[in-house]
Every structure is written in structure tokens, then in C-alpha cells.
Amino acid sequence: MSDQANDPPERDDINDVVSPTEIEGMSSAEHVDDESSEQATSAEAMPNQSSDSPIGLGDAQKRAREVAEELLEYKFEGIIKIEATDDDSWRTVVEVVERSAVPDTQDIIGCYEITLDETGSVTSYELLRRYRRGDMKEEM
């Protein structure tokens, strides 16, 4: 006798529709993984949408990176500063590559301040300065 009688039916990865019979046959871990991947896909599809709950440092970091890539439309280079403000918002300073060059020491880097409110929505952004990657930069 084969073990196939207890195994859940095979699913097609392209088709996300799952019948109730298939859900009953899946282990709870498989079901949870499917739900979390759907939630991640929804979050990726709506990166500018924020929840009403306050965000923490890690969320502010992720959000600053998303905003830098989408809003500024340059290649993200790094976050050089994140600080909480008195009104529960976040002040972040990010660097983006505004112009790539060969050699890369001639890249033009833009340093931007992005302010997020307590839910992760952008309230402002500002170009602080531009510099050539190979130039010495002063600390902020």
C-alpha cells in the first residue's frame, strides 16, 4: 500500500486557488506559510500604504529604504542616520547614487533627509548635499 493516500494533493505553483479539501490535507505549517507569503505580497504591492500602528526603528529603516528607491528613483546606497523625534516621527538620512561613473570613485552621491510620521508615511524629504564618492565628506 502506498503512502500517497495520506499525502496532500500536489498543487500547481502558478495557480494560487486552493480547494477546501486541499487545505484540510495540508499541514498547519504549510497553511501558515501560504498566508504569510500572501501578506508579504500584499505589503510589497502597496509599499506607500502604512498601518495606523506606530513603527519602530527596524520598520523605519525598511521604510526609509523603500521611500528612497521609489520616491527619489535612484539606486539606494545606504542609511547613514535614523533618529526618533519628540513627536514620535522618524528622521532618516539616506544616500543614493544619482549618477554612476567609471571608475566608481566618480559616482555622484545624493544625501537626503526623509521624515516619516509615526505610521511610516512620508511627511517630507530634502536634498542635504551632493558629493563625488571619492571626495572626503564631513560627518553630519
Q: What's residue 53's pLDDT?
A: 76
Cell of 132: 563625488
Q: Does residue 51 or residue 16 have the better pLDDT?
A: 51
- Determine which of 1-10, 76-85, 101-110 has the lowest per-residue pLDDT on average: 1-10
Mean pLDDT of the chain: 74
Comparing CA positions, the residue from 89, 95, 84 lying closest to residue 128 is 95
Cβ count near 72 (within 10 Å): 17
CA 120 to chain centre: 11
- Confidence band for 51, pLDDT divided at 50, 70 and 90: low
Domain boundaries along the sequence of the chain = 13-45, 57-132
Q: What's residue 65's pLDDT?
A: 95
Print the SS3 string covering 33-60: HHHHHHHHHHHHHCCCCCCCCCCCHHHH
Residue 20 clears pLDDT 70, i.e. is over it: no
